[in-house]
Amino acid sequence: MGAMALWRTVVVAMSPPSVTMSRARNGVARTRFIPVLLLLPIVTLFAIGYVLPLSQLVLKSLQSEGSWSLKSYVEIAHSVSFFWIVLRTLTLAATVTVICLLIAYPLAYTISRCSPRVASLLLLVVTLPYLTSILIRTYAWIVLLGPSGPINKMFLQLGLISEPLQMVFNAVGVYIGMVQVQLPLMVFPLYAVLARLNPSLTKAAQSLGSPPTDAFLRVTLPASMPGLVSGCTLVFLSCLGFYITPELLGGPDDYLIAQGISLRVLILGHFNDAAAQSSLLLLAVVVIFLVFRRRIAEELDDRPRFDAVAPSGRNSSGLVASRRFMERMSLPLHGVLLHLHEALTPVRRPLLHAFAGLALLLLILPFAAVIPLAFSDAPYLTFPPPSYSLRWFTRLFSNTQWLDALSFSLRWAGLSALLSVAVGVPAAFALVRHRFSGRLPVYLLLISPMIVPHVVMAVSLFFAFAGTSLIGSPIAFALSYAIIGAPYTVVVMIAGLKRFDRTLERAASSLGATPLTALRTVTLPLLLPTLASAAIFAFIVGFDDVVFGLFLSGPSATPLPMRMWDNIRLEISPQIAVIAVMFLAVLVVLGLLRLFVGAVIEGRRSRARI
Amino acid sequence: MVDIVRRRLLQGTALAGGFAATRSLFPAPAIAQIPKGTGEVVVYDGGGSWGEAKRIAYFEPFERETGIKVIAQPRTDTGAVRASVLAGAPRYDVTILPGGKAPTFERDNLLAPIDYGYFNRSDLDAFSPIKVGKFTVPAIVYSLFIAYDSSKFSTSNAPNSWADLWDVQKFAGRRSLMAGTWASDGGTFEAALLADGVEPSKLYPLDWDRAFKSLARLKPNIVKWWNTGAEAPQLIIDKLITASSAWNGRVSAANEQGAKIGYTWNQGMLQYDCWVVLKGAKNVDNAFKFLAFSARAENQAKFVQHILYAPPNSRAFEFVPPERAKLLPTSPEARKLQFVQNYEFWNESGAGGRANNEIAVAQWERWLSGAR
């Protein structure tokens, strides 16, 4: 099959089902072949760089001194501490997920109700912390929340407290830090569904006598369910494997499973034990998946939503159940809600905005600490800086190690992001628009790199690459970044495709557009923002990675976070703040550029209209 | 080897610092030039002020003399190094291991035997009291001691023992110690027992139960367990704690940059690090040349000028100004207040055939998770 033919098949696969259906009549076998073809690139990538190395690692957990043995598992079975650590990890992940949801929902809702330009600006603010290193954000919290930090100083001056509050190096610190790190993961999917939600539906509900609170429960909330599930899944899963934030912000008791595994790999070198613990963690995650399989299935369901015109009979998914649940729940509450609504009407909007404002503040607060730190004149990190200078900027630009690391990270995380999108987008199309057996297992496989602690994947890759020239080469980074980035592109694209109004595609094809034209002129342009956020997520995941660097870096391949990690671990200085500030500057420039381009296009459009 | 070293250190054999006085007796001997070479050698750099000291004293002069390029690699963890050797692709040619961890690497057959052919006889003989081993060349001697916020406590009324560090009534404020996951590296278990009144001479074998009971008393006042050398001074600078265990080089480096951290040598714990060549290293010959170069007394003396870690080559003191030597953990005044960590104990096999280094970590995990 030639390249062109292949491309045509891909186009058919991605195009509206009506078209696919007509082709399908010609050959059922071909339609069955399509999801396989769409999934082939990502599955190949995962097989080589992920499944194979991890299987080797699992096999390793079943060995001891060269022969088959369950020694590692027997040891775990006898270890009470392991189960306590697992329990602690699960509790933390669940709590962080709930807090994130409570904070992110009003924020996403508020943003979705803003004008597109304001919304894109606010989304940029949400993205902002996500685009800077997790290391500096985490360290900034230490500075901000510390006993002599600005927050405690302010409270002391206001007379609210007489003793500094302990807000860092305990559970509070971990929660604040984790929520700040994970919040964007919750906001984006929620915003994605809420922005697509047709406001006229709520208005219709209200005009029919439903109080806004009720309309929210009956229309907005159910319709935002895919985003909500998507966000919760992302946050919960990535919390399970979290290492850096609890490590840096936690107190003497905060010891989680990822730390236990990292300890075994990085310090002790007990690889069999680490492999056994990771295998068990994986098993636990699979069990959680099975418990929530209806929700996961719903996540994959692309049947028409409330804002699409569809006979209710087609809504055979879990969504109907949830709607009935909502109805059941809201009916007896109707009167109460009406009163509550009346009481809340004057404060509802300001309250919502205040809440959203606080959430945004939480996201950008660390920058308040980071910016002045970058201009510090002090030779070590101290807040507030005693005096200001550009010495840390000068030092950065005169240090080729930092510059090399920066260009390495930009280059290879960028390339990997493109690769992630290239394999992730067809996979999302296959998962959303096609029904085939093994859909759920494939989906679980594709998002699993978000759960498996990176330290495990990294060490498995290390063994897989051992003895080849791939160790310490950029290729190793490109591969691992693509694998950890791809799940994000898949999840983001699925959310985007599900909220995609396919009547537009049908309209295009009914007007005679070929599948290729429909894809080029309708589907892709409409999905462009989703594609962009998919690429951004994939880029960040790679760019921010520390753990793969620990195992895969070599003389000609040292990514930026490795330099930063070393800097934090060996000589804490304001150097990292400088990098954060430079990022901030780049982002502001990009943001302004985007606004400018948007304005130009808008201007052109309005002129065209005249 | 470890055993001999310990005994000698414990007996207080003429220690390195004492050699400073004999400087004039030894005219600098002619140094055999290390033959020119080609290619590169990948060396662990240690980062920060320590890496900087290595660059100035060892890396750059070595490149000039031999034409071999030194590729300094950032720090990584011992487990990652171990993995790289097991996988047959060592991440360094030459790296540094803490004295408490090197024997496990030796035991597990992860190191290459060192070819001493390029070394000067005079340098080799001068390694004292820690001798060179089949697989190890001593790199630095340092101290894990008590550091405190000198703006909180005046020198006359500052914590002067581990018991003082444990006493949060007398010396108010919160504390830090190195995480027990680092086992021998951090000296946390020794500190706990000393704080509980155990004599330094009766420390080993460590009484785990007593150590954890002692740690449990301090834990409510622990802000966090530190994991890297830079962290302990940083916690003091940030006013998050008033006292902590810390490594002497990091503290003096912070002080030389303007921090105000007090310290005491009393009940300090002497430790050392070794250079090793990893098994399967690509540039073994260059690695041996580099080690021979870094073993030279003059070069070690130069290193001391940049960081206060003591040179294992005792002849280096001939080239170190006395006022600098006085600040080293091996100076006679500092030496007599400290004790030497027993690496032998830490590498002995205890229950279940695991070394005490590993047992300590398992116990620590149990304790933290509340299962102990």
DSSP per residue, B277-306:
EBTT-TTHHHHHHHHHHHTSHHHHHHHHHH
B369 and A471 in contact by Cβ < 8 A?
Answer: no
Quick check: A566 and B47 CB within 8 A?
yes
**Cβ-defined contact of B73 to A80 (cutoff 8 Å):** no
Q: In the predicted model, is pLDDT for residue B18 greater than 50?
A: no
Cβ–Cβ contact A33 with B under 8 A: no
Residue B265: phi and psi, rounded to 5, are -80, -15
According to the model, what pLDDT value does residue A506 have?
86
pLDDT at B283: 95
Q: Measure in Å the smallest separation between the Cα of B132 and chain A Cα atoms.
A: 25
Residues in Cβ contact with A503 at an 8 Å cutoff, skipping those fewer than 6 apart: A308, A309
Check CB contact of A65 with chain B, cutoff 8 Å: no
Mind telling me how many Å the CA of A401 is from chain B's nearest CA? Answer: 10
pLDDT at B124: 93
Q: Does A267 touch chain B (CB under 8 A)?
A: yes
User: For residue A519, with 0-12 CB atoms within 10 Å meaning exposed, 13-18 middle and 19 or more buried, which class applies?
Assistant: buried
Out of B79, B259, B365, whose CB is closest to A380? Answer: B259
Task: Using alpha carbons, select from A34, A3, A1, A2 the residue that is nearest to residue A17.
Answer: A34
* Contact yes or no for A267 and B181 at CB 8 A: yes
Model pTM? Answer: 0.78
Among chain B residues, CA nearest to A559: B74
A457 has pLDDT over 80: yes
- Among A133-137, A403-407, B72-76, B321-325, where is mean pLDDT lowest? B72-76
Who among A169, A252, A269 is closest to B79 (CB)? A269
| Cross-chain residue pair B230–A572, CB shorter than 8 Å | yes
| pLDDT range class, residue A304, cuts 50, 70, 90 | very low
Residue A538's closest CA among A492, A591, A587, A584?
A492
CA–CA separation, A61 and A84 (whole Å):
21
Q: What is the DSSP string of A260-297?
A: HHHIIIIII--HHHHHHHHHHHHHHHHHHHHHTHHHHH
Q: Does A560 touch chain B (CB under 8 A)?
A: no
Asked if pLDDT for residue B108 goes beyond 50, the answer is: yes
Least confident of A279-293, B137-151, B176-190, B295-309: A279-293
The pLDDT score that the predictor gives to residue B227 is 85
Determine, for residues B182 and A267 on separate chains, whether the beta-carbon distance falls below 8 Å. yes
Structure tokens at B178: 């190195």
A28 touches chain B (CB under 8 A): no
> How many of the other CB atoms lie within 10 Å of CB of A602?
12
For residue B83, the distance in angstroms to the closest alpha carbon of chain A comes to 7
**Which residues neighbour A218 within 8 Å (Cβ) at sequence distance 6 or greater?**
A205, A210, A323, A326, A327, A330
Angle A560-570/A575-609 helices, nearest 10 degrees?
140
Question: Do the Cβ atoms of B230 and A568 come within 8 Å?
Answer: yes
Q: In this model, does residue B202 exceed pLDDT 70?
A: yes
| A–B interface: beta-carbon pairs under 8 A | 161
Q: Is the pLDDT of residue A149 over 80?
A: no
Query: How many angstroms separate the CA of residue B183 from the nearest CA in chain A?
Result: 10
CB-nearest partner of A467 from B80, B89, B371: B89
Mean pLDDT, rounded, for A77-85: 84
pLDDT at position A310: 34
In B, minimum Cα distance to A170 occurs at: B223
pLDDT, position A322? 45
Element of type H or E holding B263:
strand B261-277
The residue of chain B nearest to residue A76, with distances taken between CA atoms, is: B362
Nearest CA in chain B to A246: B224
Q: Do A252 and B224 touch (CB under 8 A)?
A: yes
**A439-447 and A474-498 are packed helices; what angle lies between their axes, rounded to 10 degrees?**
130
Which among B108, B181, B257, B286 is the top mutation candidate for probing chain A, defined by the most A β-carbons within 10 Å of its own β-carbon? Answer: B181
Residue % of chain A over a pLDDT of 70: 79
Q: Which of A148, A259, A268, A85 is nearest to B225 (CA)?
A: A259
Q: How far apart are CA A461 and CA A53, in angstroms?
A: 6
Quick one: pLDDT at residue B31?
58
A392 close to B (CB below 8 A): no
> Tell me: the pLDDT tens digits for A391-450?
989 988 887 778 888 899 999 999 999 999 999 999 999 998 888 888 888 888 888 887
Does the pLDDT value for residue A210 go beyond 60?
A: yes
Interface test with B, best of A262, A459, A469, A571 (most B CBs within 10 A): A571
Identify which of B50, B231, B369 has the shortest CB distance to residue A255.
B369
Angle at B137 between CA B135 and CA B138, to 5 degrees: 135
Position B282 pLDDT exceeds 70: yes
User: Taking 70 as the threshold, does the pLDDT of residue A103 lie above it?
Assistant: yes
The percentage of residues in chain B with a pLDDT greater than 70, rounded to a whole number, is 90
- Looking at mean pLDDT, say which of A543-547, A581-585, B193-197 comes out highest: B193-197
Question: For residues A534 and A605, which has the higher predicted lDDT (pLDDT)?
Answer: A534
pLDDT attached to residue A130 = 67
A386/B contact by beta carbon, under 8 A: no
Does the structure show a pLDDT above 70 at A153? Answer: yes
Q: Does A472 touch chain B (CB under 8 A)?
A: yes
Whether the predicted pLDDT of A4 surpasses 50: no
Examine the pLDDT at B272 and tell me if it is beyond 90: yes
C-alpha–C-alpha distance, residues A31 and B294, integer Å: 68
Whether residue A242 contacts residue A248, with contact meaning beta carbons closer than 8 Å, is answered with no
Q: Is B35 helix (H, G, I), strand (E, B) or coil?
A: coil
Cβ neighbours of residue A381 under 8 Å, at least 6 residues apart?
Answer: A139, A143, A373, A572, A573, A574, A577, B234, B237, B238
The distance of Cα A274 from the centroid of its chain, to the nearest Å, equals 26
Which tokens sit at B67?
A: 């034409």
- Partners of residue A168 in chain B, C-beta under 8 Å: 240
B117, B74 contact by CB (below 8 A): no
Residues B227-254 have a mean pLDDT of: 88
Nearest 5°: the CA angle B242, B245, B246 is 105
User: Which residue of A81, A146, A251 is in closest CB contact with B238?
Assistant: A146
Q: Which two tokens stand for residue A610?
A: 């005249």
Residue-wise DSSP of A27-91 = -HHHHHHHHHHHHHHHHHHHIIIIIHHHHHHHHHHTEETTEE--HHHHHHHT-HHHHHHHHHHHH
CA A198, A204, A210, A212 torsion-angle sign: positive
Site from A268, A457, A469, A471 to mutate, B interface, most B CB atoms within 10 angstroms: A268
Residue A372 belongs to what H/E stretch? helix A318-374
Please compute the mean of the pLDDT values over residues A373-401 and round it to a whole number. Answer: 83
- Token pair 């600006």: residue: A121
Query: A385: pLDDT confidence band, cut at 50, 70 and 90?
Result: confident
Q: Is the pLDDT of residue A474 over 70?
A: yes
Residue in B76, B358, B371 nearest the CB of A80: B371
Which of A147, A269, A558 minimises the CB distance to B239?
A147
CB atoms A566 and B75 under 8 Å: yes
- Give the sign of the dihedral formed by CA A214, CA A218, CA A219, CA A223: positive
DSSP H or E segment with residue A428: helix A400-433
For residue A386, give the chain B residue with the closest CA. Answer: B258
The percentage of residues in chain A with a pLDDT greater than 90, rounded to a whole number, is 13
Q: Are A88 and B369 in contact (CB under 8 A)?
A: yes
Q: How many Å apart are CA B79 and CA A277, to the nearest integer?
A: 16
Chain B residues touching residue A562 (CB < 8 angstroms): 74
Confidence (pLDDT) at A340:
67
Mean pLDDT across the stretch A359-386? 81
Sign of the dihedral through C-alpha B327, B328, B331, B336: positive
Task: Say whether residue A385 is in contact with chain B using an 8 A CB cutoff.
Answer: no
Asked whether the beta carbons of A258 and A238 are under 8 A apart, the reply is: no
